[in-house]
Amino acid sequence: MNFNITEEQELIRNNMREFAAKHVEPLAAEIDENSRHPAELFQKLAEGDWMGIPIPEEYGGAGADYLTHIIAVEELSRSCASTGFTLSIHVGIASMLVLLFGTEEQKKQYLAPMARGENLGAFVLTEPGAGTDIMAATTTAQADGEHYILNGTKIFISNGPTAGTYLVFGWTDKSAGRRGMSAFIIPRDTPGMTPGRHFQKMGLRSSQTSEVVFKDCRVPRENLLGAEGAGMTMAMTGFDHGRIGIAAQCVGIIQAALDESLRYSKERVQFGSPISRQQAISFMMADMATELSAARFLTRHAAWLKDQGLPFSKEAAMAKLYSSEAAMRQTVKAVQIQGGYGYCKGAKVERLMRDAKITEIYEGTSEAQRMVISANILR
Amino acid sequence: MSTIIACFKWVVDEAYIRRNSSGSLDFSSVDFKISEYDRNAIEEAVRLRDDHGGTVIAMTVGTPEAAKGVKDALSRGADQACFIADEAFSDLEPSLTAAFMAEVIRGRFADYSLILCGEGSGDLYAQQVGPALAEYLEIPCVSYVQKVSLRGEVLVAERRVEEGIEVVEARLPALVTVCPDVNVPRIPGVRDTLGASKKPVMTLGRADLVFSGGPFLRTVSLTAAPMDRSCERFPADSTGIRSFVDALQKKGVIP
């Protein structure tokens, strides 16, 4: 049994740590406050090949494994969970789905620019009436000769306002049930597809979220991703990959909560000594460090299974479930440790706590993860 | 430009050193890194190569664990590495490090034109290896350099000295020790790191060296520097401020 990451992974982690300290940490509070997409930061990430780590070099990526990408997301999220998430969904779902299911032509035309960081990917599935219950989706993709015509409204689409490449899911044959949904690669500015305005959110504020509306949007047949009717299966595969990314984002959040708690508790003096000497506080941090390790091992294990070509759906769900709930628990504690100071704007822990909440909701709620895990163990 | 040699040291990342209650230092969970100013030396070597051509060889002397540092140096743009490694090379004193490197450079990289070192290492900051290496090789040594340029076979270097900036010239081959303001070292991209493993590394051990000298120094002990704080509090009124000033004068902080 080997728990070590490779020398390359360690160096890459250290480089991302340095990158994040230099370029991300100084921006994080401002982009949160202004709910701004830091395009200049993504330009720098692209220059360092961070935007397509697990994508083969022939398709514009760095050609490393998935675990390396996961380690980078973790380190990036430690400085800014929003930026970590944007990278995660761009690589883990949008790019991975084109890599796994795209034709050679699609990989050259759409995957390579994404992997080079020339544009962002978006995963366009959720609808106002279809969250966990994907079958309740109503967006249709009607075949029309060499085209499909898409109609419907998608909601809570991450990278919606900023993406260049949209992976859109709609019914090609509603009567076929789970086998009736298909996926399409739709480039930005395709007539009939309108990304809506960015939503103001509680946390993860610099990640851009919007509606995407389809009104008689004509998409050529060659933009169909995978087989017609394979949309649902591909969406699930996308979730499996993406969930490890969310878990890594959560590990970054917990690590940041611990960093902040250690720093603050050693400096803050009450009753004549630093509060880190109070058992009530030190035990909170002991739990934080323990849950951090557990989350990190679950997350890296899921990524490792993926890299070995082994099944990882259950483990990805476990990693996402545990890490997101631990992130919520521990960021609440981190605010508690900093008291009134931690509750005020400008305290990093305040942002971490707001950022943590969404991780229990998106890319499958905690309840949805439990559905996946229980279905796996009850088989 | 022929060969540029960038020397570096793989040092303990001081952020990970812990202090035990007895004052002794705990290195059990430390991480390592390329010494900060040596990153500047590598960066400068790579910049000069990009401008003038040639080959950059990253060179270090250390224990076999420093192999990761060799990869790190290669990811920063060096073309090849020379790794002089032996279990006995932990805490090597500067005179020996310089002697080993001089022997290897003379024997295997005799066509070098420039050697770059960091001004001092991040752990001991003895500032000895660069000048000692130049002395062994009998070449000019220019220290405290904040700007390097080349004019044919002549090195032009700006040195930061107390009174200002001194511009000096030296015929190549020469050795330069650089200050951190010479450049901003890159943060290697993912491909740079992955590509580092594919670059050639010459690994030499103690048995490959003929130098037979021994150390001049012996480390007797290593403890944390005590920083006792008296932590006196003064009220923020006129009397308090007066006693604060008195206290500072008594301690000789202000005249």
**What pLDDT score does B29 carry?**
83
Is A38 in the same domain as A167? no
How many structural domains are present in chain B?
1
- Is residue B88, in this structure, part of any structural domain at all? yes
Interchain CB contact of A12 with B (< 8 Å): yes
CB contact under 8 Å between B187 and A22, yes or no, is: yes
- Is residue A2, in this structure, part of any structural domain at all? no
Is A56 in the same domain as A144? no
- Is residue A159, in this structure, part of any structural domain at all? yes
Is A303 in the same domain as A315? yes
How many structural domains are present in chain A?
3
**What pLDDT score does B19 carry?**
82
- Is residue A1, in this structure, part of any structural domain at all? no
CB contact under 8 Å between B190 and A14, yes or no, is: no
- Is residue B133, in this structure, part of any structural domain at all? yes
- Is residue A333, in this structure, part of any structural domain at all? yes
Farthest-apart Cα atoms in chain B, separation: 72
Region A114-132: what's the mean pLDDT? 97
Test the B interface: residue of A6, A15, A277 with most B CBs within 10 Å: A15
Is A368 in the same domain as A256? yes
Q: What is the DSSP letter of B140?
A: -
The more confident residue out of A186 and B19 is A186
CATH number of the domain to which B102 belongs: 3.40.50.620
Contacts of B197 in chain A (CB under 8 A): 8
Q: How close, in Å, is residue A128 to chain B by CA atoms?
A: 39
Query: CA-to-CA distance for B34 and B73, rounded, in angstroms?
Result: 8
Interchain CB contact of B68 with A (< 8 Å): yes
The minimal CB distance from B191 to the residues A11, A22, A49 is found for: A49
- Is residue B252, in this structure, part of any structural domain at all? no
**A75, A228, A360, A363: the active-site residue:** A363
CB contact under 8 Å between B189 and A48, yes or no, is: yes
Which positions 67-86 of A are in contact with B (Cβ < 8 Å)? Answer: 68, 72
What ipTM was predicted for this assembly? 0.92
**What pLDDT score does B197 carry?**
94
Is A354 in the same domain as A237? yes
3-state SS assignment for residue B179: coil
Q: B68 to chain A: nearest residue by CA? A: A7
Read off the pTM: 0.92
**What pLDDT score does B90 carry?**
86
Least confidently predicted of A201-215, A247-261, B36-50, B156-170: B156-170
- Is residue B222, in this structure, part of any structural domain at all? no
Interchain CB contact of B62 with A (< 8 Å): no
Is A134 in the same domain as A214? yes
Q: A20 to chain B: nearest residue by CA? A: B187
**What pLDDT score does B1 carry?**
60
CB contact under 8 Å between B188 and A11, yes or no, is: yes
Q: List per-residue pLDDT tens for chain B, 255 residues long.
A: 689 999 999 999 888 888 887 878 888 888 899 999 999 999 999 999 999 999 999 999 999 999 999 999 999 999 999 999 999 998 899 999 999 999 999 999 999 999 999 999 988 889 999 999 999 999 999 999 999 999 999 999 999 888 899 999 999 999 999 999 999 999 999 999 999 999 999 999 999 999 988 889 888 888 887 777 777 888 889 999 999 999 999 988 888
Pairing state of beta strands B18-19 and B10-12? unpaired
Asked if residue A290 has pLDDT above 70, the reply is yes
- Is residue B193, in this structure, part of any structural domain at all? yes
**What pLDDT score does A261 carry?**
98
For the question of residue A10 being annotated catalytic, the response is no
**What pLDDT score does B16 carry?**
84
Asked if residue A379 has pLDDT above 80, the reply is yes
CATH number of the domain to which A272 belongs: 1.20.140.10
Asked if residue A89 has pLDDT above 70, the reply is yes
Is A200 in the same domain as A263? no
CB contact under 8 Å between A11 and B191, yes or no, is: no
CB A51 within 8 A of CB A91: yes
Is A268 in the same domain as A284? yes
Which of residues A69, A92, A119 is at a domain's end?
A119
Q: How close, in Å, is residue B234 to chain A by CA atoms?
A: 16
CB contact under 8 Å between A62 and B33, yes or no, is: no
Q: How confident is the model at residue A227 (pLDDT cuts 50, 70, 90)?
A: very high
CB contact under 8 Å between A49 and B67, yes or no, is: no
- Is residue A204, in this structure, part of any structural domain at all? yes
Task: Give the model confidence (pLDDT) of A31-72 as tens digits.
Answer: 999 999 999 999 999 999 999 999 999 999 999 999 999 999
Domain that holds residue A314: 233-377
How buried is A194 (Cβ within 10 angstroms: 0-12 exposed, 13-18 middle, 19+ buried)?
middle
**What pLDDT score does A376 carry?**
94
Return the HEC string of chain A: CCCCCCHHHHHHHHHHHHHHHHHHHHHHHHHHHCCCCCHHHHHHHHHCCHHHCCCCHHHCCCCCCHHHHHHHHHHHHHHCHHHHHHHHHHHHHHHHHHHHHCCHHHHHHHHHHHHCCCCCEEEECCECCECCCHHHCCCEEEEECCEEEEEEEEEEEECCCCCCEEEEEEECCHHHHHHHEEEEEEECCCCCEEECCCCCCCCCCCCCEEEEEEEEEEEEHHHEECCCCCHHHHHHHHHHHHHHHHHHHHHHHHHHHHHHHHHHHHHCEECCEEHHHCHHHHHHHHHHHHHHHHHHHHHHHHHHHHHHCCCCHHHHHHHHHHHHHHHHHHHHHHHHHHHHHHHCCCCHHHHHHHHHHHHCCCCCCHHHHHHHHHHHHCC
Is A199 in the same domain as A74? no
Contacts of B192 in chain A (CB under 8 A): 49
- Is residue B239, in this structure, part of any structural domain at all? no
**What pLDDT score does B54 carry?**
95
Q: How close, in Å, is residue A43 to chain B by CA atoms?
A: 13
**What pLDDT score does A1 carry?**
79
CB contact under 8 Å between B190 and A53, yes or no, is: yes
Interchain CB contact of A48 with B (< 8 Å): yes
Is A128 in the same domain as A243? no
Interchain CB contact of A322 with B (< 8 Å): no
Domain that holds residue B41: 3-208
- Is residue A56, in this structure, part of any structural domain at all? yes
**What pLDDT score does B15 carry?**
82
- Is residue A78, in this structure, part of any structural domain at all? yes
Q: How confident is the model at residue A363 (pLDDT cuts 50, 70, 90)?
A: very high
Is A242 in the same domain as A372? yes
| Segment (H or E) for B190 | helix B190-196
Is A106 in the same domain as A23? yes
**What pLDDT score does B232 carry?**
80
